Amino acid sequence: MSQRVDVEAPDNAGPDDVAGRLCHGRVVFVGSGLSSADQLTRAGLRALSSATMLVTTPELREMLDEAGVEVPDKDATRFVGDLPDVARFVVEAAGDDQSVARFVRGDPLLEGNIADEVSAYIDADLMLDIVPGVPSLTSVTTLAGVSFPGQSVQLISLPYRAKTAEIPAAGSLAVGCYSSQAAMVARAAVEAGRTPDEDVLITFHGGTLRQHSEMSTIGTLMGKKSPIEPGDDRVSIVFGKASHRPGGMNWYESKPLFGWQVLVPLTRDRNEELIERLSLHGAHCTEVPTIDVEPPRNAAQLDRAIRGLVDGHYQWVIFTSVNAVRAVAAKVAEYGLDARSLSGLQIAAVGDGTREYLSTWGLIPDLAPTDVHTVAGLAAEFPAYDDIVDPMNSVLVPRAEIATEPLSEGLAELGWEVDDVTAYRTVRASPPPAPIREAIKSGDFDAVVFTSSTTVRNLIGIAGKPHAATTVAAIGPATAVTCEEHGLDVAVISDAPGQIELADSLAYGARRRAKALVEAGKPVKRPSQRRRRRTNKS
């Protein structure tokens, strides 16, 4: 028999009193991906962005920050290693109608060891949610190209202190364990009835750019010649038929730039496309700013141009870079105005990055050819002045201190009067940290990708010339010429002057290089692994 209980607030209770009785703090467990925030679910991203406090580990916090995930700021972050009693802290933190996100590695229930915490939060009458994560067991086997179709599969994840393992006598099996436990797992497999000569597939450093997989046997894992050295690293061991991968299934480790350390000298323009594309090919990118942008030495010319722009003295404004857009937007804001002050103007842009940055300011250019990446190219596409159609022939070109003669001359030939205005100036950035400078000079980078002649000159100026073993990739012929003028041998020139094309060209070059090494009977090593090492002279 059920009984209905009506809960009523006292007659003199105010809205805050009622809310206090009905609202509770919230705790949400969010599972991470294996080694990247890219594997976070949409539900996990929403939970993290809406939380008022984050409780996690320093490594996982760094993962979120590197990926730009929206999370509580660092003042509202606590690390589990600093908390004597995590559950008690979270109960107190969430008790005041707050939302606490507990970010754990892998799947919270399968790998997070959260049962005691969950019980504490339920006892404290907190709202509880658990957002599943991608388990490392399935992530590593997928990244290793292991397929289990039509097979009965058992997955085992051993905690750090496990001294024994229950291994089935037959069938496909994936075990995630610490390297110090591998020999114990092998012995348990033999004790269960598996033979020492049974093949196993071992994956080291799963989900990282150091991942590599190799075949072995159960007996080898038990002996002194085991490929697994005891330690605290996690390894994946696949037993049974699944350990024999079909041809071509090693998709992750066979990416053309897998494991490559690629140096990306930066301008102030956006390089997200380049970084993302290189990462898709398996590379790990290190970005080094080479340019700082500063206001012009004399801002009077730009101030006069902005007043003319607002007053309608120009027919066109041409943005040749992201920096030009930034400079004009900042100056417009100084006058208390926004993008609406450009209404009625026709806008042209050079390059995809410039066009995309204009869109963040709420502007869509009238002329921005997708196949044009130079000022000379835009001049060739620009319409001629028509005194019947065009109310005026003045064009504003906000630029760096370096003049854009090809554009100005081309527009003048078309009948336009160009107002070339210095909107900003570029200076060399500060040198990168000493470890990066040393890595550049000693050949620790496998490749360097240059997106302009300026990045070539400035990188060498602030960090020195890359090692001869480093593969040099240039975005176009002009950049390649600058590389050669500075003593660099260019191995890759992009098929087209775009960031995606540059990344793809480097990947294609790496694949051809690997093929040539195989055909020559040589081991395939990254450029940094093949550099000539200095020998100590006695």
For residues 312 and 364, membership in a common domain is answered with yes
pLDDT digits (tens, 9 = 90+) for 230-257: 888 999 999 999 999 987 799 999 999 9
Please report the pLDDT score of residue 159 as a whole number: 85
Task: With CA atoms as reference, report the closest residue to 319 among 249, 399, 392.
Answer: 399
| 270: confidence class by pLDDT, cuts 50, 70, 90 | low
Number of domains within the chain: 4
Give the CATH number, domain containing residue 44. 3.40.1010.10
For residues 78 and 53, membership in a common domain is answered with yes
Check whether 388 has a pLDDT greater than 80. yes
For residues 146 and 125, membership in a common domain is answered with no
Give dist(CA 4, CA 59) in Å, integer: 49
Give the CATH number, domain containing residue 512. 3.40.50.10090
Mean pLDDT of 378-396: 90
| 268: confidence class by pLDDT, cuts 50, 70, 90 | low
Please report the pLDDT score of residue 537 as a whole number: 43
Mean pLDDT of 173-202: 96
What is the gyration radius of the CA atoms in the chain, in angstroms? 30
Residue 537, in any domain of the structure: no
Q: Which of 409, 427, 445 is the last residue of a domain?
A: 427
| 1: confidence class by pLDDT, cuts 50, 70, 90 | very low
Please report the pLDDT score of residue 456 as a whole number: 96
CA atoms within 13 A on the CB side of 357: 23
Residue 102 pairs in a beta bridge with 29, 55
Check whether 469 has a pLDDT greater than 50. yes
Residue 538, in any domain of the structure: no
Check whether 14 has a pLDDT greater than 70. no
Give dist(CA 52, CA 96) in Å, integer: 11
Please report the pLDDT score of residue 403 as a whole number: 62
| 22: confidence class by pLDDT, cuts 50, 70, 90 | very low
For residues 272 and 392, membership in a common domain is answered with no
Check whether 372 has a pLDDT greater than 80. no
Residue 3, in any domain of the structure: no
Give the CATH number, domain containing residue 219. 3.30.950.10
Q: Which of 107, 134, 161 is the last residue of a domain?
A: 134
Please report the pLDDT score of residue 441 as a whole number: 95
95 vs 223, residue with greater confidence: 223
Please report the pLDDT score of residue 404 as a whole number: 61
Task: Check if the beta carbon of residue 9 is closer than 8 Å to that of residue 17.
Answer: yes
Please report the pLDDT score of residue 324 as a whole number: 92
Residue 14, in any domain of the structure: no
Residue 89, in any domain of the structure: yes
Please report the pLDDT score of residue 16 as a whole number: 42
Q: pTM to 2 decimals?
A: 0.74
Mean pLDDT of 350-373: 87
**Residue-averaged pLDDT of the chain:** 89
| 9: confidence class by pLDDT, cuts 50, 70, 90 | very low
For residues 318 and 371, membership in a common domain is answered with yes
Residue 320, in any domain of the structure: yes
Check whether 85 has a pLDDT greater than 60. yes
Please report the pLDDT score of residue 479 as a whole number: 94
For residues 405 and 315, membership in a common domain is answered with yes
Please report the pLDDT score of residue 401 as a whole number: 80
Please report the pLDDT score of residue 130 as a whole number: 96
Mean pLDDT of 311-318: 93
Residue 490, in any domain of the structure: yes
Residue 285 pairs in a beta bridge with 262
Q: Which of 134, 158, 183 is the last residue of a domain?
A: 134
Check whether 52 has a pLDDT greater than 90. yes
Task: With CA atoms as reference, report the closest residue to 324 among 420, 244, 205, 414.
Answer: 420
Please report the pLDDT score of residue 304 as a whole number: 94
For residues 350 and 365, membership in a common domain is answered with yes
Give dist(CA 522, CA 525) in Å, integer: 9
For residues 485 and 379, membership in a common domain is answered with no
Please report the pLDDT score of residue 86 as a whole number: 95
For residues 203 and 223, membership in a common domain is answered with yes
Please report the pLDDT score of residue 88 as a whole number: 94
Please report the pLDDT score of residue 267 as a whole number: 81
| 532: confidence class by pLDDT, cuts 50, 70, 90 | low
For residues 184 and 152, membership in a common domain is answered with yes
Which domain covers residue 50, as residue numbers? 23-134
Least confident segment among 258-267, 420-429, 457-466: 420-429
For residues 62 and 177, membership in a common domain is answered with no
Residues 6+ positions from 67 with CB-CB distance below 8 Å: 36, 37, 38
Check whether 7 has a pLDDT greater than 70. no
Residue 8, in any domain of the structure: no
Check whether 536 has a pLDDT greater than 50. no
For residues 399 and 484, membership in a common domain is answered with no
Least confident segment among 46-55, 84-93, 522-531: 522-531
| 97: confidence class by pLDDT, cuts 50, 70, 90 | confident
Give dist(CA 373, CA 242) in Å, integer: 49
Give dist(CA 223, CA 226) in Å, integer: 6
Check whether 505 has a pLDDT greater than 70. yes
Please report the pLDDT score of residue 13 as a whole number: 46
Q: Nearest 5 degrees, angle CA 20-CA 21-CA 24?
A: 75
Q: In the chain, pLDDT over 70 holds for what percent of residues? A: 93
Please report the pLDDT score of residue 232 as a whole number: 87
Mean pLDDT of 100-122: 91
Q: In the chain, pLDDT over 90 holds for what percent of residues? A: 69
